[in-house]
Structures are given as C-alpha cells and as structure tokens.
C-alpha cells in the first residue's frame, strides 16, 4: 500500500498553495480515487477542496450562466431553469455516468476527467505515453482501437476524451475561471484541453497549483433550441461511442446561428466549426443536416477499430440537428 498525505483546504488560496507543492486536488473524487485504486495515479498528497463555500452554487442570469466548480452534476441536471434555458446542458449531465456518480461528481472535476483508454487504465501494459511518457502506445502498436479518437489524435496517442458536459461547453463558448499561484485567469474552454501531440501526458494548460473555480457561458439564443444526443453501447452508464451537443437559432426558415460540439470521437472536446459553417445561412433540412454530419468528419483519421465512428458520428450530428428541428415545431 502506498501512503499519501491528506489535508483539507479552508480557502482557495490555501488549496492553491498546497497543490503548488505537489498535492493533487480532490473534490468529488469519482475519477481520482478510482485511478489511485488501480495504481494509475499515485499522488504524494491530496488537498481536499470540499467545503470551500465560494466554489459552490450557480446563477442563471439573462446574459450569463455561472457554475461554481464544486457544484454537483445532479444539481444542475435537475434544475428546471437550466432545463428551460439550455436543455442540452441538462441532457449531457443526465446522460453521463450513473445517478450515484452524478450525486458525487462536481462540474470542475467532470471537465478534467481522464481518458478511458483501457491501456492507460491497466498498469500491466507498459506501453502508454500518457501514463508513462516515452514508453510507446499499446493501442497504436496493434491493440484494440474501437474506443479511440478519430479526430485530434497523434502518432504518440489516440486516446479519446470521454466526457459529455464538455461538448456543450466547447460548442457554446464557455470560459473557465481559475486561481493559482500566479493569480486568477479566465481561459476559453476551447483552449483548456490540449491535443496529445508528442506529449500525451499533458492534458490541459493548467499550471501546477492552478484550480478551476468557475465555469461560465454567455446566454445566446441557440441555447434554447439545443439537444444532446449520445450513442453508446448501452442505454445507461456508458461512455459515448459518438455524441453531439447542438444548438440552433433560426431566422425564419434559415439557420442564423448553429453550434456543434462532438464527443466520443476526439482527443479533446471538439467543436465542428466547418460543419457549423456549412449550415449557417441554409435551411435546416434532413439533407443539410446530413451534409453537416459528413463535413464534421471529413478530416477524420480512423484506425481499423475506430472506422465505424465516421458514419456513426455523422448520423449522430444529423440526428441531433433533426431533434432540435422537431423541438422547434418542425420549422
């Protein structure tokens, strides 16, 4: 058994100081404890941020939504104001994990969850550039690749980002507020995660000791007409094979604004910018939705095991767009 230190931080300042000295931040613990039990993460110390009041709670205002990093997934998923203002956000949270996990897991922890690549999670496999930099990649070296990314991977790692919430955040221009030894900063959500490149070990731009304090989003018309569609192996408690968070603002029969975030298919939360461009200024029809799906995966680089995700992902994008259209009364 490995020993580690544990301390409970009374404030954000104390937490950043302890974390900057090497301790790992723990909140809901639903990912971290799991990875510690299987030996994938072995921190020397933990700093518990539960109980720091200013990290909890959220507000839904006319122009901006703000969520404290310690807010529980289930609390936000169930809130009728969230359901009314931004249905895709509620749906993404509802379709993530199990009820027990949603009651424990925090929004801040959720966006920082780590890949489900089976070789990353099994220390019996020596080859994993993410867990053990420079060791190689068991997936790319003849392993199973059906759970892996077809967008944004590299020759060093093709691990898939596994979350659901993040797709809604990247598509709707969310920002993340942080506090660290260097002070506070606001990071566009689209820049928080980094693609694996040559260094899959580095997953975000967060500095040592830097803690996510808040997630916020501008309120835009496309949020009201939004939907989160998730394709997975079973109906509950499964990670996405492909998912899409979409939102649409119409001007008569023409798409004025559209947002498309992809999950289950990429190394990081993925915004399908070209697919959005293909729809803006066009009618929203089965044909234009299917074309957007094709465009979203035009640059995909699948491996043998993950090639099915191109058609599945395109179908999920089209299906989510048609679901939004149906929600708008078929306009």
Positions that interact with ligand SF4 (CB under 6 A): 115, 117, 119-120, 128-130, 137-140, 157-159, 200
Closest CA to 157 of 222, 191, 203: 203
* Least distance (Å) between residue 212 CB and ligand SF4: 22
Closest CA to 321 of 298, 292, 296: 292
CB-nearer residue toward ligand SF4: 29 or 305: 305
Task: Report which secondary-structure segment, H or E, holds 166.
Answer: helix 165-171
CB-nearer residue toward ligand SF4: 158 or 165: 158
* Least distance (Å) between residue 240 CB and ligand SF4: 17
Instruction: Count Cβ atoms below 10 Å from residue 252 Cβ, excluding itself.
Output: 7
- Which residues lie closer than 8 Å to 215 by C-beta, 6 or more apart? 66, 67, 69, 107, 108, 111, 169, 174, 175, 176, 177, 189
CB-nearer residue toward ligand SF4: 117 or 242: 117
Q: Cα–Cα distance between 284 and 54 in angstroms, integer?
A: 42
CB-nearer residue toward ligand SF4: 209 or 264: 264
* Least distance (Å) between residue 136 CB and ligand SF4: 8
CB-nearer residue toward ligand SF4: 200 or 319: 200
Q: What angle do CA 153, 239, 289 make, to 5 degrees?
A: 75
Instruction: Count Cβ atoms below 10 Å from residue 38 Cβ, excluding itself.
Output: 10
* Least distance (Å) between residue 139 CB and ligand SF4: 4
* Least distance (Å) between residue 141 CB and ligand SF4: 8
């Amino acid at each position: 058994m490995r020993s580690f230190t544990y301390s409970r931080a009374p404030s954000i300042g104390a937490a950043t100081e302890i974390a900057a000295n090497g301790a790992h931040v723990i909140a809901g613990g639903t990912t971290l404890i799991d990875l510690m039990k299987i030996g994938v993460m072995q921190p020397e110390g933990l700093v518990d941020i539960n109980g720091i009041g200013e990290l909890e709670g959220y507000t839904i205002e006319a122009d901006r939504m703000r969520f404290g990093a310690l807010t529980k997934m289930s609390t936000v998923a169930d809130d009728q104001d969230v359901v009314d203002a931004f249905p895709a956000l509620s749906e993404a949270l509802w379709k993530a994990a199990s009820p027990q996990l949603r009651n424990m897991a925090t929004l801040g922890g959720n966006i920082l969850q780590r890949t489900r690549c089976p070789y990353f999670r099994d220390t019996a496999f020596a080859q994993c550039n993410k867990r053990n930099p420079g060791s190689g990649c068991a997936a790319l070296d003849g392993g199973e690749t059906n759970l892996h990314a077809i967008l944004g991977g590299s020759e060093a790692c093709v691990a898939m980002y596994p979350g659901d919430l993040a797709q809604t955040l990247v598509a709707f221009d969310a920002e993340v507020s942080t506090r660290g030894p260097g002070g506070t900063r606001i990071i566009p959500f689209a820049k928080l995660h980094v693609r694996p490149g040559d260094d899959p070990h580095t997953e975000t731009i967060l500095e040592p000791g830097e803690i996510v304090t808040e997630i916020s989003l501008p309120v835009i018309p496309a949020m009201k007409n939004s939907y989160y569609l998730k394709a997975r192996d079973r109906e509950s408690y499964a990670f996405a094979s492909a998912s899409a968070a979409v939102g649409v603002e119409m001007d008569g029969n023409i798409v004025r604004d559209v947002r498309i975030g992809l999950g289950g298919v990429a190394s990081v939360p993925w915004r399908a910018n070209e697919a959005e461009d293909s729809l803006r200024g066009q009618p929203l029809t089965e044909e234009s939705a299917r074309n957007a799906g094709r465009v979203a995966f035009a640059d995909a680089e699948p491996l043998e095991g993950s090639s099915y995700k191109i058609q599945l992902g395109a179908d999920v994008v089209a299906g989510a767009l048609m679901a939004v259209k149906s929600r708008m009364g078929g306009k």
